[in-house]
A and B are shown apart, each in its own frame.
Chain A
């Protein structure tokens, strides 16, 4: 079974621009969560989607948004990029709501200049 895939793997953007990251969960998994990883703050929860509904949201500004499609694929969008948004963005896939097994993708490395 293929693992979690994330595209693109690397991205360089300029302050003020917006970006969209994509995540395809493991086949059959219906829950997708997003995390931001930075050296200073560590791993922080962004949001979780299950069956196209956002179930939970972390403490991030409204510039961070996401959605999930009927095939469980998910996208997250960051508008008006700031230098501090430079991070590794990780997506996790789980079979169900609050599932015991959460598998992560390789991440998207976003650099904001």
Chain B
């Protein structure tokens, strides 16, 4: 079935690391994504990982993929107040074209 689960809220202090977690159910997923949405805005593509990779690092962002447990995480190092937003995990099934299945989103609150 199509299901992506995320915790709804995360609060961290400025300068700390944030870890946002996501679980998905379909092992046929080819790509897994992290998007950021600020109030009143569209979705910003932060990073994505191909399903045959375990890890991807991009500046302050680190994505870890555990295919056995169908678990994806996004770590943001040195979190800043500008990182406060809703973060969405999404997966794509190649045999369904470009259809993205999204989680509910995790609201990240960064306190000074």
Interface residues of chain A, those whose CB is within 8 Å of chain B, are: 4, 6, 31, 33, 35, 42-43, 45, 48, 50, 55-56, 58, 90, 92, 94, 97-107
List of A residues within 8 angstroms of B98 by Cβ: 31, 33, 48, 50, 55-56, 92, 94, 97-99, 102
List of B residues within 8 angstroms of A99 by Cβ: 98
| B99 touches which of A6, A58, A100, A101 (Cβ 8 Å) | A58
A97, A102, A105: residue with the most chain B Cβ atoms closer than 10 Å: A102
B27 within 8 A of A: no
CA distance A103 to B103 in the complex (A): 17
For B, the interface residue count at a CB cutoff of 8 angstroms equals 25
Interface of B is mostly: strand
Of B18-26, B39-47, B69-77, the segment with at least 4 beta carbons within 8 Å of chain A is B39-47
Which 10 pairs from chain A and chain B are nearest by CB?
A104-B43, A43-B102, A55-B97, A56-B97, A106-B42, A104-B42, A107-B42, A98-B98, A45-B99, A98-B97
List of B residues within 8 angstroms of A90 by Cβ: 42-43
> Cβ of A92 and Cβ of B100 under 8 Å apart?
yes
List of A residues within 8 angstroms of B103 by Cβ: 42
List of A residues within 8 angstroms of B30 by Cβ: 98
